[in-house]
Every structure is written in structure tokens, then in C-alpha cells.
Structure 1
Amino acid sequence: MKFENTLACALQLDKEDKLNHLRNSFLFPQHNGKDCIYFTGNSLGLQPKNTSGEIKQVLDSWAVLGVEGHFKGENPWMHFHDKLTKPLAKIVGCLAEEIVIMNALTVNLHLMMAGFYRPTKQRYKIICEAKAFPSDQYAFASQALLHNLKPEDVIVEVKPREGKHVLHTEDIISVIEQHAGETALVLFSGINYYSGQYFNIKTITEAAHKAGAYAGFDLAHAAGNVELNLHDWNVDFACWCTYKYLNSGPGAVSGTFIHERFARDKNFPRLAGWWGNNKLTRFKMEQNFDAIPTAEGWQLSTPPALLLAAHKAALDIFEEAGIENLHQKRKTLTAYLHFILNGINQKYNYRVIEIITLANEDERGCQVSMFMHKNGKAIFDALTNEGVIADWREPNVIRVAPVPLYNKYEDVWRFGNIIENILQ
């Protein structure tokens, strides 16, 4: 596609965009009476307009039916989960039976590691990317301590090459092979939160299995963003939040994938709770745990109906859009942002903006991380004052993410125009 750094080009691209109408399904923060340029869906997605209606339906059932809302009404809470796994399965590429919606992301990572990280004297290491999200690092370290191991002996970080911001897949494989006999778990992000790099999940999984280790992934920045085929890639488990690209609200309920070879194994080790017990005998309150032979067998507590309602509101829009259509637009929308930013750099005799997110559409999602070589925080503050909601990461990175569900090509062009004016 031929791009131009003109408003006319951006407007034409929007005119040709068959998903452009979905923007009207979301609520935008305002700046001087107009919609902000909202480029931080990688941190918190916008609120769908139908979210309040879905939540109100739960509140109304609670008001009218009380506890009977679990079994009666238009959307009995007992079956809420069943309505969400099929649309979510399309997004992450798996069977509906391999998904459970519960808790929060780091909680679920700990629950998964309770079963998938069982270190022995020989195998005890966890391999991850350097500069993984801090919460993941804390989880790895605390799991090591729970097993009376030293985090510095357990955690192996794969670091970028000297002077680089992203990892080479061959370097990841090399580290896995180097520690093959000692590795219990390879646990990477799907997309690194800082650089925006989309890792080769299939290849990493294959390398982990070849080394005799489990392969798990934190998909916080990948779910609802990039193509995922967790079942076919043979991933052992994965967890994600739903408040970023999945637009389900601050602190929204999390999702977990457990491959069917483990989900169907009722004897696979886990931390158990009553909601993961056999549905036919759950309310008999029997002492012995009988796991549901799906990913639901990992549930602990009664599902949060209000949070599931917010999640449903967002998934309904994904169903309307079609995940393949979203991926197609995402690639073009982010490519246009790369084009605009590269054009700005070409006007200067030094590199003003270093785009550390890879340009290859198979190695990135919506997010573009801009490493600012000069006056980064001042530029970020100026963007905020102009009605651009972006994201700052120390020491000098501005993260922006044009999201195909609600961002326009015009947003990208206006963002570039604002950056140029600030630099001048």
C-alpha cells in the first residue's frame, strides 16, 4: 500500500476501512471538546458504550432476584463463563475447553506455576526475557523462594545483544539449549511490554519441549492484539489480562489457556477450589476434589459476574469485527505510523526518534516504542498538552499503540503532525 504523509491520504485510508464504524462503539476521553488521540490501548483499552448496559443487567438481576440470579433471569450467572470462552478462543487460537476466565493475571501465573513449575535437584531453572514485566519477575523470584531456592540461581534472563533493544530468536534458542538439562520452565512474554517485540511463540515452545521443559507465556500485550494459535503451537499454558487490547475495564478479570493434554488430566497437580469441582456434584459440598476435565478445573472461587459482564461487552465487539479483519487493519495502521515517524526522522541530520519496535509485521503488534534521544519527557508532556494520551516508560521511551477497534488513520497522521510541531 502506498502511503503519503498527508491528511488527504489518512482520510482516504479511513474511508476504505470497513471497520471504521466500530470507533462509534467506544467512549473517548475529551480534550478541548474533541476526542483525544487515544494511543494507550496497550495499557488500558477504551470503554465500550455497551459496558454499562451489560453491568446494569447483572445489577438488575441482583436487585430483583437476589441469590436466584445465579440460576434465573436473562443471563443466569452460573452460565456466564460458558458464553465467553468461544469468542475468546477465536482470539487466542484454541479450543473453548482450553480457556478459563478467572482472577487476575499474576494470580493466574502463580496458579499455573504451582503445577507447571515443580523443580527438582536437576531441573529448577526458569528462562525468561530480560526486562520482563516486573510482576512476572516478582512471581518467578517468589516461586523460587517457595521452593527454598535462590532466585539468582533459578532465573535465567535472555538479554539483547550489545547496543540492541530487542532479542534475536536464535539467541533465545541458544540460551534454552545451553541450560537444557537444568531448565524446568520457559516463561516468556508474548509481546515485551517495553520494546513491543512480538516473540516467536511457536519456535520458543518447540525449543522448550526439546529441552524437556514446559513452555508458558504471559500474553498481557498479545491477547486481542496479534495472531495467536496456542493450541496448534502446542503451548502448555498462557495467561493474559483483559483490560488492555480486550477493553474489559481497569483490573478486569483475567484469562488462562491450558492445553487440552493437561486440561483433560484430572490428576495434573494444581491448587484447587470449589468452583473447579465437577459441576454435577459441586453443590453436594463433598470433601474430595473432583476436577472438571477442562481448563475450568483450575477455577478457585465463584466467578465475578460484574467483571464477566464487562468482558462480554468487549468480546461482543470483537465478534462483530472478526479477529482476522482486526489483524489486517492492525498491520496497516501500525505500518502507517512507522512510515510517518520515519519521515520525521529523515528531516533531521540526527536521529530524533529511534523506533525500537521492529518494523516487520510478524514481529510486532499495535505498539510502537519510541526511544527519544533528546528531551523525551518534555516531548511526552507536550503531547499530553495537545490531547494525545500516550505512555511514558523510563528512562526515555514513549509507547504508542493505534488500536484497530477504535483508532483511525487520521489519528496517526495528526499524531505525527503534532510531533513535528513540537520538535520545531
Structure 2
Amino acid sequence: MNNLSDKIFSQDHARQLDSQDPLSEMRQEFHIPKQANGDDEIYFCGNSLGLQPKRTQEYLNYELSQWKKLGVKGHFSGDFPWMPYHEFLAEESAKLVGAKTSEVVCMNSLTANLHFMMASFYQPNKLRHKILIEEHAFPSDHYAVESQIRFHGFAPKESMLLAKPRAGEETLRTEDILALIEQQGDEIALIMLPGVQYYTGQVLDMKSITAAGHAKGCRVGFDLAHAAGNIPMALHDWDVDFAAWCSYKYLNSGPGSVAGCFIHERHHKAELYLNNELPRFAGWWGHDKESRFRMENNFLPIETAESWQLSNPPILSLAAIRASLDTVKQAGGIEILRQKSIKLTRYLRELLNQELGNDITILTPEDIHASGAQLSIAVDLHGLDSKTVFDRIEAAGVTCDFRHPNVIRVAPVPLYNSFEDCFKFTSILKKALGVNL
């Protein structure tokens, strides 16, 4: 190894990078799980479940106290009354996805939101009935799309159009997606792709895909489960029809927490629903706020994304989301986090390529415009599979995750991970692979 390589792969160098990191103190805002010996875990699993912000307990305790002291009056009293609670999340949620505050709402769960969005935006007919998704879509998305196609009386074999990587490749090429839209767009009713592909960590070109879809008369939506809190977006300016995301990955709102949804403002006019131009499943929390409690059973939708709400939301979950959004705000917002994320992930990639370049393959694109915080790693050593390696690094104090058939997903999250975490992870991975230190 040359001197430069020795310097990069050293704990002192990693610590120096941390000392120069303006966000290094944000780690103190989170509870870091401990190993059996009392040391911090190397927690690289924020792409599956983010860590708990320390302020979360305070926010939850406040709402529990309000419930204890006020009972039903808590809907109208206190600093954060429950009746409009979801509104307290709109501004920061909108900043994360590049939207207007009127275009976002926290409600339901991710797959439920995708179903509700498809109830509005997938209106197939004999000529235009296909839904374009990716071949390796997250299973829940695949199931949701298939069931929607069946619900409308079509056959998934005929109506589910799959975007596939080229032979021998792991990631999708933008030009191939655009070509598929151009070729079959007249038959595509809906394009529903991920913002960030869960398995490879690839960031898709949402702007170009949306423009191509609209040019062919298609509706376009995105699953942002792995994009929200990970990469900056501009959903409004990109003219995306809808999007949905969970809040418990990079947004750290707790297991199973309430999801988020975006609907472009051009779809908000009440007349679109009343004239059945844009159908939806309705509930009373989507009804006009001024007349909601008149109980007149004459649905008048709010002219914002809120009109897709069904029921009053779980306040304790929204309180956890408010804590996570306030933590992101404290860090300076998604653009600042992205700057660190690029540096952090690039450093980890450099370490892995330098120390283990002949023993592993990183599936995630190297282009920073096509990758976020996640690196997806496959083991190339003969006689050693990725699951065995995963078990070894987990036993050594690393928390990441394994996805069949052979990928270890690691996500250095800029809010709480450090450059030293990257160094330690690489050292542990080398041992797990039997590579000499």
C-alpha cells in the first residue's frame, strides 16, 4: 500500500474527518444502540429503521400528559392541539420532498397510501390499462399494483409492464426506461417507480421519467420509501402527480409510524372529485374543515392534499414525526444533510474499493446523481456467500441488513453516522472476509 492509501485507511484519518464535520454534533441528538461490551454499535441500518431522536420521548410525553390532564379537550388545547396536528408537520415535510405545504399530508401507511393514490390515478380502459413498475420492485409495491390491476378486471400478465436492467447489469438505465415509455406509453395508464431502488440503492431520474410519462398521457407517481430524508427532491417543479413515503427510515419516526403523501396541487380542486374526473376513497377527515362537524353526509373535499385523508390520525405517531422533522430542521435541512451524505458515502466507497476491491462488488452506482446514502454490497469470494459474511459482521457489532439473494445493504446516515463508523465497518468486513489487516 502507498502512503496515501495508508493514510485514508486509518482511524486517525477518520477521526480527523469527523473533527471537520459541521454535523458531527448531531450524533448526540440520537440514542445509539450499544454492543454487549458497552461500545456503540456501528448502526448502518437507517435505510430500514432509523434511530430514535432524543427529543422524541419529550414530544410523546407531552401528548400523553395532555391526554391525562385534558381528555377530549386536548383536541383544542395546548401548544399542539390534536385537531389540526397534522398541519404542524406540513411545512417541514414539504421541504423534504420539494413541495408546497398544501401538497403534502401525513396519513396512513405507505402501501395504504399507494392504494389510495392508485384509486385516484389508475383509471384503466381497454386501450390504456398498463402500469409500469420495475422488475425488482419492493414486494409490497408489486402486490399492490397486481391487486389494483385485478380489481379493475385486467390481467397482470397483460397489464403489468416491467422495467428491467440489461442482461448482466443490476441497475436500470434511464434511457431504457424512457424508451419503454415512448414505445408503450399509449397503453400505459400509470407509471409507478421508486425514487430510490431499495435493493441496489439506485436513485432514479424522477424528473425525466415524469416528463416522458406526461408526454405520452400517463399519470406518474413514485414510492419514496428510500428517498424521503435521503436525497433532495423537487416534486412540485418536476410536475409529479403523486408520491408516498414511509417516515421510519431516514426520517427516524419509529417502527410502523405514519406515512407521508404528496399530491400535486393541480389535482386539488373539489370539482375534479365532484364531477368524478378524479375519483377517490373519501373519509370525514378529508371533508371541508369548516363544515366537517355539521354531519351532513355531503362530502365536500378540502382543496389540498388533506382531502385524501380518511380518519383523524394517531397523535402519538405524529408527535414522533414532529420530533424527527425538528431534528432534520436542527441539522439545517435536507440539502445540508445531502452534502454530508455524499462525503460520508464516498469515503466508505473509497475504503471498500481500496481494501476489498477484489473481494466485493458494490451494486450502487458511483455517480452521486444516481446514488444516495445506501451502498449495496455483494461478496465475490469463492466459497463464501454474503449471508455468512453478514452474520459475521453482525456478531462483531455492526447492524445493517441482508436482502436475498446476496446483498448486504449498508447506509451511513448523515444525521448520526460518522467517518469513524465507516473505518470501523471496513475493518470488521475485512476480518469477516478473512482479508489480512
Q: TM-score, normalised by structure 1?
A: 0.97
Partner of 1:122: 127
Letter in 1 for 2:175: E
2:319 maps to 309
1:276 partner letter: G
Residue aligned with 1:78, SS: coil
Distance in 2 (alpha carbons) for counterparts of 1:140 and 1:63: 42
> In 1, distance between residues paired with 2:205 and 2:118?
21
Deviations for 1:299-330, whole angstroms, at most 9, x for unmatched residues? 10011101000000100011111222101000
Q: Deviation digits for residues 185-213 of structure 1, max 9, x if unmatched?
A: 00000011001000000000011101110
For the residue of structure 2 that corresponds to 1:232, the secondary structure is helix
CA contact (8 A) 2:50 2:248 kept: yes
> Is 2:392 aligned against 1:392?
no
The number of equivalent residue pairs is: 420
User: 5+ unaligned residues in a row in structure 1: which ranges?
Assistant: none
C-alpha separation in 1, matches of 2:432 and 2:313: 48
Answering whether residue 371 of structure 2 is matched by residue 364 of structure 1, we say yes
Aligned equivalent of 2:18, options 8, 14, 18 = 14
Instruction: Tell me the distance in 2 between the aligned counterparts of 1:123 and 1:141.
Output: 16
Match of 2:349 in 1: 338
Alpha carbons 2:356, 2:430 under 8 Å: kept: no
Name the SS for the 2:361 alignment partner: strand
Note if 1:100 corresponds to 2:111: no
Flag structure 2 segments of 5+ consecutive residues without an equivalent.
Answer: none
* Higher mean C-alpha displacement, 276-285 vs 368-377: 368-377
Partner of 1:34: 39
Which amino acid in structure 1 is aligned with residue 192 of structure 2? L
Q: Which residue of 2 aligns with 1:295?
A: 305
Q: 1:353 aligns with which of 340, 357, 360?
A: 360
SS in 1 for 2:225: coil
User: What TM-score, normalized to structure 2?
Assistant: 0.94
Structure 1 residue 386: deviation in Å? Answer: 0.7
Provide the C-alpha distance between the structure 2 equivalents of 1:108 and 1:220, rounded to a whole number of angstroms. 12
Residues 102 and 305 in structure 2, CA contact (< 8 A), matched pair in contact too: yes
Aligned: 1:326 with 2:333? no
- Which residue is 1:210 aligned to? 215
Distance 1:259 1:51 in 2: 30
RMSD: 1.3
Tell which deviates more after alignment, 231-240 or 52-61: 52-61
Q: Tell me the equivalent position of 2:422.
A: 412
Paired residue for 2:393?
Answer: 383
1:21 is matched by which residue type in structure 2?
A: E
CA distance in 2, matches of 1:119, 1:372: 43
**8 Å CA contact 2:131, 2:192 repeated in 1:** yes
Alignment of 1:25 with 2:29, yes or no, is: yes
3-state SS of 1:309 partner: helix
For residues 132 and 35 of structure 1, the distance between their equivalents in structure 2, rounded to whole angstroms, comes to 34
Alignment map for 1:40-59 (pairs within 5 Å): 40-59=45-64
- Change over 3 Å in CA distance of 1:265–1:338 after alignment to 2: farther
Secondary structure at 2:320's aligned position in 1? helix
User: SS of the counterpart of 2:83?
Assistant: helix
Shift of 1:73: 2.0
Shift of 1:265: 4.4
1:6 to partner: Cα distance: 1.4
Residue 56 of structure 1, CA deviation: 1.1
Distance in 2 (alpha carbons) for counterparts of 1:201 and 1:96 = 20
Q: 1:87 aligns with which of 67, 86, 92?
A: 92
Instruction: State the SS of the aligned residue for 2:369.
Output: coil
The residue aligned with 1:172 is: 177
Could you report, residue by residue, the CA deviation over 1:233-256 in whole angstroms, capped at 9, with x for unpaired residues?
Answer: 110000000000000000000000
Question: Amino acid of the residue matched to residue 132 of structure 1?
Answer: A
Q: What is the percent sequence identity of the aligned residues?
A: 50
Residue 279 (1) aligns with residue 289 (2): yes
Counterpart amino acid of 1:261?
R
Q: Which stretch of structure 1 is more off in the superposition, 289-298 or 72-81?
A: 72-81
By how many angstroms is 1:29 displaced? 1.3
Deviation at 1:74, TM superposition (A): 2.6
